[in-house]
Chain A
């Protein structure tokens, strides 16, 4: 396993398209990644564009946008990862959103600082530490509600909404294996909102990729998430559970020893009670070592 390939895998694994939109997307991607064994810290800057294609209704049917209606979310973010020891890393991410909506002949813009995330990664077993045994890590995360929630929206089309209005607590377990030019990663995680404006959610993801052209890695990630039904008066409301299955190809390229750039696209293939957006993103990463 080459040092360069490992660095590329790091950048691929950690910079999936941002799921920063407030109310109709899954609560995913707390982490901004991990460091390579030789790195002390990393800085990341990312941009994304997410046009809406429609939505998945409560019965799982896709419904396209009505004529004259459109939604577009543009995002930018900065993130950092700092290693406290060989086994412990801290991370944080601060996003900013600009939303545009059109309907009934009206165009509306809004945006601002979105919910931030902070996380900690605890590495139980390093990648390649033991032959034929995948690396294993636990990640803890929280989403800090810096953004404006739906309850505080002022704009008619809620374009000023940039956050969930609630803290989210997350926990996940990740297994990673690198063999020659190939890598494979599996993660299972869950989130719990505080206070309970939404139900707890469970997410499973599987990603894999291969080194190409020397300094590049082409990857594909499949992600499934389930969110519990809303409860009103202690009773679960029929038809209010949410789910989605998304697919995300990405390509990462090492520009220089410290610099990596990554491009990715994510689309929801199946869902219920979710917006359908194609999220295209790019991230520039600088590793300190």
Chain B
């Protein structure tokens, strides 16, 4: 029984990279990635590729393989459809998954990126 549990309940699946009707693109400006104060640029567009202003943009970071989340990060709006998280930090080295969520009105979009922190 434990063996079956260890093998999982079925085939392993890859996690999604984007969902929703808003197009969210993400650029990690800081290179190489650091443990602290990384700069993340976020672009939000609607289905007509027009920039979306005044969206509520938030971040969630997690280490899926370790089963825990990290701390979120402050997000500010820079320009039309452009947002920035200027102080994205990771509590430890390893493989992190950053989820960016943008919402405006009834529309929303999500984008995940994989970040390997040295």
CB pair B95–A58 under 8 Å, yes or no, is yes
- A228 neighbours in B (Cβ, 8 Å): 5-8
Residues of chain B at interface, number, CB under 8 A: 33
Bitwise, A144-155 to B at CB < 8 A (1) or not (0) is: 000001110101
Option from B5, B7, B12, B34 in Cβ contact (under 8 Å) with A237: B12
- B65 neighbours in A (Cβ, 8 Å): 58, 230, 237, 239-242, 273
Residues of chain A at interface, number, CB under 8 A: 48
- B92 neighbours in A (Cβ, 8 Å): 24, 71, 101, 157-158
A219, chain B: closest CB distance, angstroms: 27
Instruction: Name which of B18-26, B66-74, B103-111 contacts chain A.
Output: B66-74
- B68 neighbours in A (Cβ, 8 Å): 23, 149-151, 197
A106, chain B: closest CB distance, angstroms: 7
A215 at the binding interface (Cβ < 8 Å): no
CB pair B9–A153 under 8 Å, yes or no, is no
A1 at the binding interface (Cβ < 8 Å): no
B51, chain A: closest CB distance, angstroms: 32
CA A190 to CA B4, docked complex, whole Å? 13
CB pair B37–A104 under 8 Å, yes or no, is yes
Bitwise, A235-275 to B at CB < 8 A (1) or not (0) is: 11111111000000000000000000000000000000100
CA A106 to CA B36, docked complex, whole Å? 9
- The chain A residues found within 8 Å of chain B, CB to CB, are 23-24, 54-55, 57-58, 63, 65-66, 69, 71, 101, 103-104, 106, 149-151, 153, 155-158, 190, 192, 197-202, 226-232, 234-242, 273
**Top 4 closest pairs, chain A to chain B, by CB:** A236-B8, A150-B68, A66-B118, A103-B35
8 A-B pairs whose Cβ atoms sit less than 8 Å apart in the complex: A57-B95, A153-B91, A198-B67, A229-B8, A230-B67, A236-B10, A237-B65, A273-B65
